[in-house]
Chains A and B, each alone.
Chain A
Amino acid sequence: MLKRILAKSMATTAMIAVSASIGFAADIAVVGGKNDDAFWNIIKKGIDDARLVVEANGGSVNYLRLQTYDNFAPDVVQLIQTAISQGVDGLVIPNWVPEAEDPAIKLAIEAGITVILMNAGGADKATELGAINYVGSDEYAAGVAGGEYFAKNGQTKILCVNTVPGAANLEARCKGVIDGITTAGGKGEQLPLPATSFGDPTAVAEAIKATLLKDGTIDGLITISAGDADSAAIGVMQASKIESVKLGSFDLNGAGLERIKGGTQLFAIDQQPYLQSLLAVTLLASAIDFGTDLPTRPVLTGPGIVDASNIDAVLAGVSAGAR
């Protein structure tokens, strides 16, 4: 029964594929987040730029976006099935909900679709499913890069401020920072803030100020989000330690970029979503059309460090919608 449906769908697949493009070049579907999710609009910029290459070779790229996040897992699976029924040759898919998505992704691969995991999943998952690669970032590696950057800049004791203690990806960020600075010979510790402080910038700033005043050896500070860095900047100022405590953050926002440009923030760590979609789509198209095989696994698009040395280019990227 299943085989018959599969065979049937593969037949229609082939027909649609033939009618969809003149040549036999790659038709690619990319699954992504909502229209009003800023992150996925940067992803869109990468897709749009990759599309130029794919279309030049006679292929096409279709960006399938979730309408809402309310019915998340079923909607993602539905988009995978849409891609299968459209008869695409390649699929770029974030592995957000493995237990729901994995069967659908396997079905896509059985249907002859070449798959790349992007943004969520990891290299091991890609191997397990039969996807050709994983393109995305690794929170722990990003943290390690942050810790090492502090060490390179001369800081010896780093505080990682975690406003949502217990969230696995954020814990991984702080753990990475602490391991990074420890390996380089310094020290690091996490400051977990209680839920009563989350979303109250004054409470976060005051907590950071008090911690800096209590422990005078801290000379570096990193926050798990860009918004928290706004609070941290005030906390550092209130502790009168702008000179002696350097500030870093995960992710970017406008105020943080201004601080980096103005010299009151040392750096920010970016997972560079633009590269995720740009690389995933072009890698996939090239693998399908020309049989290329990239030995690098996984393809890490981050961490990218934004500091005074590249701030102007990053700001240009922000206004182009790529950062």
Chain B
Amino acid sequence: MSGQFSFGSLLRRPEAGAFIGLVAVLAFFVVFGGLSFLKTAGVASWLNVAANLGIVAIPIGLLMISGELDISIGAMVPAGSMTVAILSGYFGLPIAVGILAALGFGVLVGLLNGFIVVRTAVPSLIVTLGSLFAVQGLVLGLSVMLTNTTSIPLTSPAWAKAMFGTFIANQFQVIILWWLALTAVYVFVIHFKPVGNWIFAMGGDKVSARNAGIPTERLTIILFVLSATSASFVGVCQAILFNSAQVSSGMSFIFNAIISVVVGGVLLTGGFGSIIGIFFGTITFAIVNQGIYFTDFDRNWSSLIIGVMLLLAVLMNNTFRKMALSYSPKKK
């Protein structure tokens, strides 16, 4: 690096495509939805969705970079919210106990996923498909057995509300701060520490990575623990914010997280991507998903518009990645 600012080198960074996709969809909805989309309520509308999704999307992105996938998050989000609602809402235990139990359950499921993936040769998609259904069934069964219902109200003390489930300025969910802080930590660890390179190396070629001395098995397990626990954390925040938890929610997180990650420039085959890219990808997805409500389009067309916009964002991203990867500086 020359150290001096160059627009060209900025464009060739892995997240550049994701950023340009983001700007494009934002422009689209400002044109069709008006400037209210950029005012406080509008910004909160997509930031809130992005934050909830983003906390899950980053560890999913890391797993995908390392060549794995975790779809059990679809069950872990409701598992987190039901754990805290059953323990602290139904049984009246202190909220801290409920939160810790929910996160602990996330760690446990993550460890199980990780160990099974590492010890057996079964693809992680299949392993986590199994744990997706198993956790869903466990949560439903336990909920009905313990509380005789599948929807549990939760009243949280003020400090828990303030930390996990309140609105800043009556618009922005406090989870946005968690998302920003976690993103910063991920950026630091992944892009400025050796661990980051190890994860990319695993996605590139796992056998060579292990031969080079990278603790691939331990890293894989850690990544699964991260994704399951993050999903559980989002579930906890939801339960505290919405004062309620349901057995049947969270499946949309699977697809939405994967879409965000891919829109953010991570290759489905692994080995390529960046945290900032995933960050932009998540915001892009949230804008596309929520922007529709600021436009005059008939709501029956929502899914069509979401699909087309996401495809365009990925295509744009791909074009930029190709340009970045095939770039060679001019000889002077």
Q: List the interface of chain A (C-beta within 8 A of B).
A: 36-38, 41, 165, 190-203, 205-207, 209-211, 213-214, 226-227, 230-231, 233-234, 237-240, 253-255, 258, 321
Contact = CB atoms under 8 A, between A and B. Distances in A.
Contacts of B253: 199-200
Contacts of A190: 299
B153 A253 contact: yes
A227 B243 CA distance: 11
Given A36-B141, A202-B49, A230 B243 contact: yes
B289 A210 contact: no
B87 to A, nearest CB: 15
Nearest to A226: B151
26 contacts: A38-B144, A38-B148, A191-B299, A192-B302, A196-B252, A196-B289, A197-B252, A199-B78, A199-B253, A200-B256, A201-B241, A202-B173, A203-B252, A205-B242, A206-B290, A207-B293, A210-B293, A210-B294, A227-B244, A230-B242, A237-B170, A238-B170, A254-B151, A254-B244, A255-B243, A258-B153
Contacts of A230: 242-244, 246
Question: Which of B144, B244, B292 has most A Cβ within 10 Å?
Answer: B244
Given A210-B290, A253-B153, A254-B244, A194 B145 contact: no
B252 A36 contact: no
Interface string B172-184: 0100000000000
Interface string B32-53: 0000100001101110110011
B46 to A, nearest CB: 8
B262 to A, nearest CB: 14
Interface in B227-246: 238, 241-244, 246
A210 B244 contact: no
Contacts of A213: 36, 41
Contacts of B149: 38, 253-254
A252 to B, nearest CB: 9
Contact of A36 (B77, B144, B290): B144
B153 A195 contact: no
Given A36-B140, A196-B306, A231 B242 contact: yes
Given A36-B141, A210-B42, A210-B294, A253 B151 contact: yes
B300 interface: yes
B186 interface: no
Nearest to B141: A36
Interface in B131-176: 140-141, 144-145, 148-154, 167, 170-171, 173
Contacts of A209: 41, 45
Interface of A is mostly: helix
A203 B252 CA distance: 10
B167 A197 contact: no
Contacts of B250: 199-200
A238 B171 contact: yes
B249 A199 contact: yes
A200 B151 contact: no
B188 interface: no
Interface in B285-304: 289-290, 292-294, 299-300, 302-303
B91 interface: no
Interface string B246-269: 101111110110000000000000
Contacts of B150: 38
A240 B41 CA distance: 11
B302 A193 contact: yes
Contacts of B46: 206
B140 A206 contact: no
Nearest 6 A-B pairs (CB), nearest first?
A: A210-B293, A255-B244, A199-B249, A254-B153, A253-B151, A255-B153
A206 B49 contact: yes
Given A194-B302, A200-B249, A207-B290, A227 B49 contact: no
B289 A201 contact: no
Contacts of B299: 190-193
A132 B242 CA distance: 45
A30 B153 CA distance: 32
A66 to B, nearest CB: 15
Contacts of B152: 254
A211 B293 contact: yes
Nearest to A254: B153
A206 B293 CA distance: 9
Contacts of B256: 196, 200
A31 B215 CA distance: 57
A202 B250 CA distance: 11
Nearest to B249: A199
Question: Which of A207, A210, A226 has most B Cβ within 10 Å?
Answer: A210
Given A254-B151, A255-B151, 15 more contacts: A197-B289, A198-B249, A202-B241, A209-B41, A210-B293, A214-B36, A214-B293, A227-B246, A230-B243, A230-B244, A234-B241, A240-B170, A253-B153, A254-B149, A255-B154
